[in-house]
Structure 1
Amino acid sequence: MFWNDFHFDGLTLAYLTTGFAMTLLAVWNGRRTLRGQKQWPRFVCTALLFCTGYGLTIFSGELKTLVLGWEIMGIASFLLIIVHRDFTSGSSSGGISAKAFFIYRLGDVGLLLAMWASHHLWRENATLISCLLLATASMQSSQLPFASWLPQALENSTTASAILLATLTVQMGVFLLLRSYPFWEHLLSVRVLVALLGLAGAAMATAFARVQSSVKRRIAYVSMAHTGLIFIEVAAGFKNLALIHIAANAFLGAYRLLAPPLLAGMPVQEGGISDKKTWEDRLPKKLKYTLYMLYTKEWGLYSRLSKYLRS
């Protein structure tokens, strides 16, 4: 029956509560900053579409319903990035949104392959299915190796759209891992891989955040770092801790987006360099400068992606 396609549990309740609060904050900010402009009706329609996909995803009881909600939410997330764009002026955000859209669609391929394999290769290739789900979750949560779309998307979107992207869209990768956790919890290799990806993503995002001069880019990397830590918590089996961390990260990200930089505890200095002494200061000067350049260039992750996605 139709109602059998839906499921309600503690995970659904946690995401529903967080999603409801973040959507209210996004609509409130959009009404305050966009009302009276031509982008306001566009944002309202896009937010409604996003909520529809988000609701279908978190209430899904099987993969087909999840894929439907995932697709709707992916399209809405893409539209949120370009909701402010003036299509007659050749805005540069088109290339950014195209790259994000490509990663969304690539993640959809992994999810569709996992759904196909779950019907035909369930017993023979549980590890393969789990790896496909992990790849989809990593792309959605802007983790390695596709860890570059979120900072660019937030920097080129309105604050109202950024709230939904940084607090809800990114955390849907974690939702996929939590929803599929009973399937791969007994696979030690998959759990180790999830933890390693989370550790690497958290370490790199933390380093990148320290050299950003843009508030939104720094917020994006901080959110990515926390998501990497949540990956580790999920791999370790601390699901309740992960849910608390998800909610705390969402509210912290929304606060930082809405509050002035100084009030949010994120002073922006010229060049993005802090006066506080760090462990890198103990390194030889050439090595320290090399690390700084790698951090500012984000290890070339975004440039490599742009190489294949020139708009």
Structure 2
Amino acid sequence: MYHLIVFLPLIGFLIAGLFGRSIGAKASEYVTSGLLVVAALLSWVAFFTVAFGSGETFTVPVLHFISSGSLQVDWALRIDTLTVVMLVVVNSVSALVHIYSIGYMHHDPHRPRFFAYLSLFTFAMLMLVTSDNLVQMFFGWEGVGLASYLLIGFWYKKPSASAAAMKAFIVNRVGDFGFILGIFGVFVLFGSVNFDTIFASAANYVPVEGGEGTAGEPVLTFLGYTLTMGGALTVTCLLLFLGAMGKSAQVPLHTWLPDAMEGPTPVSALIHAATMVTAGVFMVARLSPIFELSHTALTVVTAVGAFTAFFAATVGLVQNDIKRVIAYSTCSQLGYMFVALGTGFYSAAIFHLFTHAFFKALLFLGAGSVIHAVSDEQDMRKMGGLRKLIPQTYWMMIIGTIALTGVGIPGTIIGTAGFFSKDAIIEGIFVGENAVAAVAFVLLVVAAAMTSFYSWRLIFMTFHGKPRASADVMHHVHESPLVMLVPLFILAAGALFAGIVFHDFFIGHEYDHFWKTALFTLPENHVLHDFHEVPLWVKFSPLFAMLFGLALAWKFYIRSPEVPKELAAQHRGLYAFLLNKWYFDEVYDFLFVRPAKRLGHFLWKKGDGMVIDGLGPDGISARVVDVTNRMVKLQSGYLYHYAFAMLIGVAALVTWMMLGGSF
């Protein structure tokens, strides 16, 4: 069964990729989508079998991979609760995106290639989440990066799409460099890249009081510094986290995510809502036995996550592209997940990953349905008044919004999926014990208020008020076909009920039976117990933040729609600062892009042109060519020219002999 779950998407990729032109677009769509549906159903079977069964972690061998000295790597599928949760998320969302794309992409002439890329991405992600060792995880990690590059740049003739694909690929390489250095560090420290060996060795290491095991023999040299086991663990964890920052779009490696919206909307839903961007969260959770040993690393994870959640929420306040608003929301929610990881609340991070997959994929696909209805327009300022024209899409977007903003009543089982998972993270950071926990708590609550504001702003600007689109566009507005709406209905059910159904298993009294040994926490980590006992005002703070954001959005975009323009005019500097995303792109352009271009231009003109072409091998060869071209002119083919040359030669010889004889 597990072989089928992983390799069915690969089979779909090969069929659509190699034979798409032969079998046609329809067959490619049905084959790839059908195989993903089968894989998704099998994933749910595996989920209930493993997570709710009594079995422990086991591996399913595939083949022997690498044998080099002490490095032994097998390709095997590691099956535990964390794996099957990710299988459900990846395959379920991917199957729904495949089905949705049949309707959304029906006018595109290159559908076989598109569906092949979707299946390739899914296979790479499955290879990542089922990895039994760090090398296999890295191959899946890079495969996901390649597939995302192909999908973001699917419309490669569009310059902005090609640029966005390159940006995503290059920015992720920065994080991936840290990730591979972290893998090297793990191998040096534990002598293996196999998870079982690493976790068994890590369990024997106990941090000393006052640091991460600062006492002990040196075990690693990094950047000229000799590190003991504790310091080496911290450096290794930070390098691994650098890889997670790239894949999961954490500041400062976040700049690729909004630009990736240049790809087709189904790509946004698959890659940037539920799968690729959660790879970093999954990796840190999988390596919890290592991260749990480094208090410093967890503090950095918390700080980066909290700042990212706040930063992305501020930028989302002023975005006008409907997909970019949701993209910055994704970036912010990923920050919540990393805060949970940094607190040692790994199960809450995965719970939010699980629920987020439903409502964020719903929002992205709902946005695609809106774009489909208004003739590919994405600017919310040119929408409005769509509520009665596309009512089913409207209600699906409402469900996604209330799930994202966490509508629910604290202390009860009444609430959407986001209510259960996001509120648990906020309560968990309140009882967190690292140095930045208090600041992170404030940032997350403020981010929750801003999340509510920009989410309802999207709803009000898109569906309410007077129509702002042209009469021709409004005349052609239509509801999406059933093939696009059915995935929305299924995702809406998850957005509403996933939190209620699975709350007790992920972070409640069924925790031990559900997770078994998939996640690791030290005995002194009490966050799972303490977050249930936070003060009442802490439990209600996300609710008050959500209501404040909703009320403010209603005031600005329903009751007094002229107010936002007035505020933007009064605070032009702040508005421009947020609209330009804190000028991260401009700073990177100044610090990295322009110097790289200047260096490249210098090496081209001076290095290649002047030195190599002018003086080097090319220069010498050019001089030889010049001489031979002149010599060739002597070979005219006329007999009297040769006779004349012979006479000159004889005269020169006689002259030399006469002069030579006189001496």
Equivalent residue runs for 1:60-139 within 5 Å: 60-86=131-157, 91-121=159-189, 123=219, 124=229, 125-139=232-246
CA displacement 1:133-184 (0-9 Å, x = unmatched):
1111011111111122111101x11111111121211111101111111102
Q: Could you tell me which amino acid in structure 2 is paired with residue 61 of structure 1? A: D
Structure with larger Rg: 2
Q: Residue type of the partner of 1:105? A: R
One of 324, 343, 349 as aligned partner of 1:236: 343
SS of 1:35's partner is coil
Gaps of 5+ in 2: 1-62, 65-73, 191-218, 220-228, 371-386, 388-393, 399-457, 463-467, 469-551, 557-563, 598-663
- Residue in 1 that maps onto 2:122: 51
CA contact (8 A) 1:191 1:236 kept: yes
Which residue of structure 2 aligns with residue 168 of structure 1?
275
CA contact (8 A) 2:305 2:339 kept: yes
Amino acid of the structure 2 residue aligned with 1:298: K
3-state SS of the aligned residue for 1:61? coil
Deviation at 1:223, TM superposition (A): 0.8
TM-score (normalised: structure 1): 0.88
SS of residue in 2 equivalent to 1:110:
helix
In structure 1, the residue matched to 2:102 is 31
2:155·2:161 contact (CA, 8 Å) conserved in 1? Answer: no
- By relative contact order (CA 8 Å, sep 6+), the higher-ranking structure is 1
Q: Distance in 1 between matches of 2:128 and 2:254?
A: 23
Alignment partner, residue 83 of structure 2: 12
2:628 corresponds to? none
* Deviation (angstroms), 1:275: 6.4
Deviation at 1:190, TM superposition (A): 0.8
**Which whole-Å CA distance do the structure 2 matches of 1:5 and 1:126 have between them?**
26
**Aligned residues with identical type, % of pairs:** 26
CA contact (8 A) 2:176 2:246 kept: no
In the alignment, is the contact (CA less than 8 A) between 1:6 and 1:62 conserved in 2? no
Alignment length (residue pairs): 300
Instruction: For 1:151-166, list aligned pairs within 5 A.
Output: 151-154=258-261, 156-166=262-272
Contact 2:125 2:141 in 1 (8 A): yes
Q: Deviations over 1:57-83 (max 9, x none)?
A: 001111111111111111001111011
Shift, 1:293, TM fit: 2.1
What letter matches 2:137 in structure 1?
L
Partner of 2:327: 220
SS in 2 for 1:6: strand
Kindly state the Cα deviation for residue 234 of structure 1 after the two structures are TM-superposed.
1.2
1:194 and 1:31 mapped to 2: Cα distance?
Answer: 39
Partner of 2:582: 299
**Cα gap change, 1:53/1:177 in structure 2, threshold over 3 Å: closer, same or farther?**
same
Aligned ranges 1:170-209 → 2 under 5 Å: 170-209=277-316
Structure 2 counterpart of 1:305, one-letter code: Y
Is the CA contact (8 Å cut-off) linking 1:99 and 1:306 kept in structure 2? no
- Asked if the contact 1:39–1:84 (Cα under 8 Å) also holds between the matched residues in 2, the reply is no
Decide whether aligned partners of structure 1 residues 23 and 296 sit closer, same or farther in structure 2, where only a CA change above 3 A counts.
Answer: same
- Cα deviation for residue 251 of structure 1 reads 1.2
For structure 1, the residue ranges without an aligned partner over 5 or more in a row are: none
Q: Which stretches of structure 1, 4 residues or longer, exceed 6 Å deviation after superposition?
A: 284-287
Q: Which is worse superposed, 30-39 or 261-270? A: 261-270
Aligned mates of 2:250, 2:570 — CA distance in 1: 26
Q: Residue 480 of structure 2 corresponds to which residue in structure 1?
A: none
Shift of the 241–65 alpha-carbon distance from structure 1 to 2, 3 Å rule, reads: same
Determine helix, strand or coil for the equivalent of 1:190: helix
Deviations 1:19-65 (A, max 9, x none): 11110121112211223532311111111211221111001111111
